[in-house]
Structure 1
Amino acid sequence: MYRKILLPTDGSENAKRAGKHAIWIADVSKADIVVLNVVEPYYPRMPTMPNFRENLYNELREEGRRAVEKFKKDLEDNQCKGVCENINLTTEIKEGKPYLEILRTIDEEGIDLVVMGASGRHGLDRFMLGSVTERVVRESKSPVLVVP
């Protein structure tokens, strides 16, 4: 059925719930899981201190790395319940617009299924489908399972 599942994460509770579904599907399908975090660069319009952008980028990238590793460990420790040893779980951190990097990863990795949360960390997303999720659903060539 599925061979490779993409699990985009921003560390939110919705992403953690999506992780549970991805594990279950991967176990049943004998699929691999790619856990992806995308660091979106922030470029302030006003002049800033020297090295501000570089330091901010490095901090965001490190935060993304920690989030992906913590997410992977949480999945293995708390959500797998003995199932994950049969699942090849890899992690990736990319830089760019989240929806574009998710779509690019789908193509590059030959993803059969995307499992993602309905919304991310932003408070307003509670009232509607998250903008990243919506773009991925509309533009993905692979099926997308949206977990509330």
Structure 2
Amino acid sequence: MAVKTAKQPILVPVDFSVASEAALLKAFELAECLKVRVVVLHVVHDPGDMPGYYTTMLKKKKLARMQDAARAMLEEFIQEFRKKYNTKQRLKRTERMLVIGLPVTRIMQVAEKIDASIVVMGSKGERGLKHLMLGSVAERVVQLCPLPVLVVKAELQEETS
């Protein structure tokens, strides 16, 4: 694997959770230091264990494609983040990506496509039987991704700058 340069973007996969907010906040701190852009990624996936993940948005619109609901949720997530952390200048130049597929696979494919230097993602820290049965997207990305992966715990979201 070639050494990554400082101008390569930071990839931040989000699922609109508090953990994703914490990861995005940490990614912007890194981006400020490194003077690189941030790419916010959402993978449209309605897993069998959580059917109806996008139903909140779909209830507002009678008929909508899952991708349309996810795109609206991504924009809303970014807008809420912008309001909460309005001092983050890099947010204005943030790229947004929406792809369809299995989260772990698509995160790694997008990281390769954009030539990311690092993946920064949140972790909800689930444990117990649910974790054993389903696993964690962050955990699988850490195991399989050839790039450095920074996992940010949800508790960090209380740190504001």
TM-score range (shorter-chain normalised) is 0.7 to 0.9
User: 2: CA distance between counterparts of 1:138 and 1:144?
Assistant: 9
Deviation at 1:62, TM superposition (A): 1.9
Alignment of 1:1-148 (within 5 A): 1=6, 3-40=8-45, 58=65, 60-84=66-90, 88-119=93-124, 126-127=126-127, 131-148=136-153
Deviation at 1:81, TM superposition (A): 1.0
Alignment gaps of 5+ in structure 2: 1-5, 49-61, 154-161
Tell me how large the CA RMSD over aligned residues is: 2.5
User: 1: CA distance between counterparts of 2:73 and 2:126?
Assistant: 21
Q: How many residue pairs align between the two structures?
A: 130
User: 2: CA distance between counterparts of 1:42 and 1:20?
Assistant: 26
Deviation at 1:61, TM superposition (A): 1.2
User: 1: CA distance between counterparts of 2:111 and 2:42?
Assistant: 13
Residues 97/30 of structure 1: CA separation in 2 closer, same or farther (3 Å cut)? same
Secondary structure of the structure 2 residue equivalent to 1:101 = helix
Deviation at 1:90, TM superposition (A): 0.6
User: 2: CA distance between counterparts of 1:80 and 1:30?
Assistant: 18
Alignment gaps of 5+ in structure 1: 44-54, 120-124
Contact 2:37 2:90 in 1 (8 A): no
TM-score scaled by length of structure 2: 0.71
Secondary structure of the structure 2 residue equivalent to 1:141 = coil
Contact 1:36 1:93 in 2 (8 A): yes
Determine the structure 1 residue equivalent to 2:57: none
Secondary structure of the structure 1 residue equivalent to 2:107 = helix
Deviation at 1:67, TM superposition (A): 2.0
TM-score scaled by length of structure 1: 0.77
User: 2: CA distance between counterparts of 1:138 and 1:66?
Assistant: 31
Deviation at 1:82, TM superposition (A): 4.5
Contact 1:10 1:67 in 2 (8 A): no
Determine the structure 1 residue equivalent to 2:157: none
